[in-house]
Structure 1
Amino acid sequence: MKNVKLTFALVVIGMVLVAVFAYLMVSHQKPMAASTNYEIVKTWPLQRELEEISGITWLTDNTIACIQDENGLIYIYDLEQGKVVERINFAGDGDYEAIAVMDDDAFVMRSDGRLFKVARFRESEQKTTTYFQTNFTPNDDMESLALNATGDMLLTIPKQTNNTEDAKGIYEIDPETKQTSSDPIIEIKINDSLFNKNEQRAVRTRFSPSDMAVHPQTGDFYLMEGVHPKLVVLDQKGLVKDIIFLDSKNFAQPEGIAISPTGRIYIANEGNAGIATIHEVIIKL
């Protein structure tokens, strides 16, 4: 019996040592140095109710629609006034992660792949909310949603799953038929020349998109990551144009991205033990 107890104790000690070693290895990894081809031109500190901001999209007249990952509310944020000017209730509490607006309707992605449609969400009468389940599951941890370049389809990319060992994919969702494309319409090629060996590994094992947007002037895809703050910019064919590493001081946890019709880029950052913000940035590709 003593030998059994001793063996068990040694096994437990070994497991603890392995865990400690793994933690030390990860915690001592140097973060990627911030890129130099972006500039913050303006910052909006957000109210406490948006501390958990998880997604944004451009509306009009210097207003942005925001959601946060706890309450079923759409917040209308006025950039000129620097505050929330309207709150729209569309559902109960839940892990809501991304928002897009098509014509008069708002679409909100929940992390488990359920997509909510809030019809005529800016009108004064009572809002009508419907929903349907996309092809994604809680294992995919969905955090992104955007309109395509023509504005008639929704786009998303899973945060936690890869299509293959060598690619991650952007999928199309038809809001009319409620169908999700079975294959990705765009693939991020990990063997693209802009990825060095270390970054190939990072994108394959750590690239976890927290939101996306399509540039209205160029059609480029802007993929945001919050865990390891960066933007991956793809052209219309899915080829990588640039990987922009963001500084962790100003972008502790970027969770949302929106681009205005004139090309102004906004990045929303969760509070993460600080004040949540929206930064307007200029990016030089």
Structure 2
Amino acid sequence: MKNLLFALLTLSAACSSPAAKSSEYVAAEATLPVRNVNQRTAQPAVRATMSYDFTRPAATYAMPSELAELSGIALAGTTHITGIEDETGNLYEYNLHTKKVDRVIPFAGSGDYEDVARVGSDWFIMRSDGKLFRYSNGKTEEFETGLSFANETEGLTYDAASKTLLVACKAEPGAGLSYGQRAIYRLQPGTFKAEAKPAYILDIESIRNASPAPEAGSQKSGKKGKKKDSGRAFSPSAVAVHPVTGHVFVLSAKQNGIVELDTNGQLLAAQPLPDDLFPQAEGMTFTASGDLYVATEAGKGSGEAMIHLFRAQAR
């Protein structure tokens, strides 16, 4: 009996001791993301649609020719949207009332600039190679985020709840993740270095499974155009945080899709966008009430980039 009791105690200790884990398991555990759409035992139900009808914009703004390559937008008060394009280092202040660019502000030399965010009176601009620019009071500073061109940093937004910037990567997710995932990193205040672990992780297979099938669930605005499978290879081009719910919205240009995550990073909705309205969806920004502006580059058949406004609707 003593031998049996001793054996049982030994087995119990071996099962509960951290030392019993293999080195491979420990190494894998150390690189696990902090948030993943597949981590919950009971996930919230994924909705077919969001609280926006992306086939019916409340307003549409045609951009001037210098913004044909419009790649990112951010609100500048209630009357202006500031945009950037991915060739020159300029900020374009677009007047929503006159529908004209009021001012062009150079902040840096030519480069592949992908998104812009406003924090107080400062403007932050993300370049595709992971370099962050801050324009304030006529001066520009540059910061190395630790992300690189391999990550293809395309989305940038300010998260008011944590008072930090979020960066969405279009390509290599880093942090030991598979290429079937996409990462959104939080930048540390002050240094603007990306945290080692992503703040949010997008699982492409989960998005694909949640997206309506093109033949059954595709949406059209009423104009001629075909639909793509938005979840086939979801590649973030913009990110924004809803000011009321705190939910994270992520746009994908190549597949013309948009997803919504809750504050824990769980996938809530995945939805395609109509091709005729969005030749290449590249930027988005929320109003204080939750209305959503979405920007698209000029398509092959159109010389104008567009910004569409969508009103929040009750679910």
Distance 1:213 1:102, change over 3 A: same
Residues 135-188 of structure 1 show CA distances to partners (whole Å, capped at 9, x for unaligned) of 111111111100113262100111012352364221111241232100011222
Per the alignment, residue 225 of structure 1 pairs with 252
Residue in 1 that maps onto 2:235:
208
1:194: Cα distance to partner? 7.9
User: Does the 8 Å contact 1:234/1:241 carry over to 2?
Assistant: yes
Rg comparison, structure with higher value:
2
Tell me the TM-score normalized by structure 2. 0.72
**What is the Cα-based RMSD across aligned positions, in Å?**
2.6
Q: CA deviation at 1:193?
A: 8.6
Counterpart-to-counterpart distance in 2, 1:196 and 1:263: 23
For 1:245-280, what per-residue CA distance to the aligned partner results, in whole angstroms no more than 9, with x for missing partners?
101011010100010111110011101321111001
Return the letter of the residue paired with 2:184.
I
- Aligned identity (percent) is 31
Q: d(CA) in 1 for partners of 2:79 and 2:210?
A: 39
Q: Identify the residue that residue 3 of structure 1 maps to in structure 2.
A: none
> Shift of residue 192 of structure 1?
4.7
Does residue 182 of the first structure (1) align with residue 199 of the second (2)? Answer: no
CA pair 241-47 structure 1, distance change in 2 beyond 3 A? same
Q: Is the 8 A contact 1:232 1:243 kept in 2?
A: yes
Q: 2:209 is paired with a residue of what secondary structure? A: coil
- In structure 1, C-alpha distance between the alignment counterparts of 2:233 and 2:208, rounded to whole Å: 17
How many Å separate the matches in 1 of 2:312 and 2:201? 23
State the partner residue of 2:140. Answer: 129
Deviation sequence 1:19-69 (CA, Å, 0-9, x none) = xxxxxxxxxxxxxxx999433111111100100100001120221110000
Q: 1:204 deviation in Å?
A: 8.0
Could you list the runs of 5+ residues in structure 1 that have no partner in the other structure?
Answer: 1-33, 121-126
Equivalence for 1:82: 99
Alignment match, 1:243 = 270
For the 8 Å contact 2:182–2:235, the answer to whether it is kept is no
Partner in structure 2 of residue 53 of structure 1? 70
Please list every run of at least 4 consecutive aligned residues from structure 1 whose deviation after the TM superposition is greater than 6 angstroms.
202-205
Indicate whether 1:256 and 2:283 are aligned. yes
Unaligned runs of 5+ in 2: 1-48, 214-228
Whichever residue aligns with residue 270 of structure 2, its letter is I
Amino acid at match of 2:115: A
Paired position in structure 1 for 2:293: 266
Q: 1:240 to 1:130 in 2, by over 3 A?
A: same
Deviates further, 184-193 or 64-73: 184-193
Aligned residue pairs: how many?
245
1:169 touches 1:188 (CA, 8 Å); kept in 2?
A: yes
Q: Tell me, what secondary structure is at the counterpart of 1:195?
A: helix
